Amino acid sequence: MKQNQYTKNIKYIIKQALREDIGDGDITTRLLIPANKNSIAHIIAKQSGVLAGRDIVYQVFKSIDPRVKINFRVKEGEKFSKGKIIAELKGNTRALLSGERTALNILCRLSGIATLTRKFVEAVAHTKAKILDTRKTTPNLRILEKYAVRMGGGTNHRFGLYDMILIKDNHIQAAGSITNAIMRTRKNNSKMLIEVETKNLSEVKESLQLKVPIIMFDNMNLKQIREAVKLAKGKARLEVSGGVNLRNIRKIAETGVDYISVGALTHSAPIIDMSMKIDN
- Residues involved in catalysis: 101, 136, 168, 197, 218
User: H or E element: which one contains 250?
Assistant: helix 249-253
**Residue 100 and residue 252: Cα distance in Å, rounded?**
41
Instruction: Give the dihedral of Cα atoms 236, 237, 241, 244; nearest 10 deg.
Output: 130
Cα angle: 60, vertex 66, 68; to 5 degrees:
80
Taking Cα atoms as reference points, which of 125, 97, 138, 141 lies closest to residue 250? 125
Give 206's contacts (C-beta < 8 A, 6+ positions apart): 177, 178, 179, 198
Burial bucket for residue 204 (CB in 10 Å: 0-12, 13-18, 19+):
buried
Helices and strands in the chain, H and E counts: 11, 12
User: H or E element: which one contains 18?
Assistant: helix 3-22
Amino acid making up residue 182: I
